Chains A and B, each alone.
Chain A
Amino acid sequence: MMKAFARTAATLAVAGAVSVAAPAVASADEFIEPCDLSSKIDELQGWGSDTSNNIMVYKATARESSHFEGVVEEGTAKAVPCDNVFPRNHDYHWVVFSGDGEFVRKGDGGYRNWAFYGSFTRDDNVVTFHAR
């Protein structure tokens, strides 16, 4: 991945214009599909290109507790929840990690609330991740 980012700089130089993003917690440009959080996993994996890590994507309100080790990438996006009539943004988070971890969900399941990938053992709303 570092290689890709190194090339990004070259691309920007060619393009002739650059926006320097502040280390914002939530960027308006981050992708999230509120009705199907598994699509974020697809993006984070480069559409199948790198499946070597554990990944957790979740709606903030669906998180009871969580713990991740060996985090390699994480982010947040704001979006109106799936099928919400009231246009109020909620936070969505994702974590790509190589180590152990645990996520405890509260409320409903389903891809609008969480999606995960990797080596794990699931007991209903508790997912225990194993180091890759």
Chain B
Amino acid sequence: MRIGKHLAVCAAAVVAMTGAVTVSAAQPAAADFDACDLRVKLAELNAWDAEDQYNIIVWKDSAKESAHFNGVVEQGHTVAGECDNVVGEDADFFWAIFEDGEFTRKGDGGYRNWAFRGHFERDGNHVQFLSR
């Protein structure tokens, strides 16, 4: 994967700043991903957008009715155990940093299903994101 290659290239610089690197073949870079509170991931991405240029959303795949984004500058995916699921079922989670767009949620709200920030107008389960 291209991301993998790029990470490898950047690894030296990152090591210099963090002092610790875990090398593994299949582990997602999501050790501190909180499936019960997607604001944790949102906060991490928020640091990425220090100048508040973009809109950011994190969502659980099963909570997405529809999504359309323009000008995506960063996106990602991870698999994590569902919040409070005793069976330990894994679920897909996504995030995107983008110029504008819209997202329609299905099912329950709450931070286990979605979290977002930026310039938007929300009407129930529908969020219209506007350019910042």
Q: Which residues of A contact B (CB under 8 A)?
A: 1, 3-24, 27-31, 33, 42-43, 46-50, 73, 75
Interface size on B, residues (CB 8 A): 49
Q: B73 and A23: CB pair below 8 A?
A: no
- Could you say which residues of chain B place their CB within 8 Å of the CB of A47? 67-69, 72, 96, 101
Q: Which of B59-78 contact A (CB under 8 A)?
A: 61, 67-75, 77-78
CB distance from A71 to the nearest CB of B (A): 11
Query: Is residue B111 contacting chain A, with contact meaning CB distance below 8 A?
Result: no
Q: B4 and A46: CB pair below 8 A?
A: no
- Given that A20-B23, A21-B25, A27-B26 are contacting pairs, would A11 and B32 also be in contact in the complex, using a CB cutoff of 8 Å? no
Q: Which residues of B contact A (CB under 8 A)?
A: 1-8, 10-11, 13-14, 17-18, 20-32, 44-45, 47-48, 61, 67-75, 77-79, 92, 94, 96, 98, 101
CB distance from B55 to the nearest CB of A (A): 12
Q: A13 and B13: CB pair below 8 A?
A: yes
Q: In the complex, which residue of chain B has the Cβ closest to the Cβ of A29?
A: B28
Give Cα distance in the complex from A12 to B10, angstroms. 10
Contacts A1-B2, A23-B4, A31-B79 supplied; 19 other A-B pairs, CB < 8 Å? A3-B73, A4-B73, A4-B75, A6-B6, A7-B74, A8-B74, A9-B14, A12-B10, A13-B18, A18-B14, A19-B23, A22-B4, A22-B25, A27-B4, A29-B30, A46-B72, A47-B67, A48-B69, A49-B70
Give Cα distance in the complex from A75 to B78, angstroms. 15
Most buried by B among A5, A7, A11, A29: A29
Q: In the complex, which residue of chain A has the Cβ closest to the Cβ of B27?
A: A19
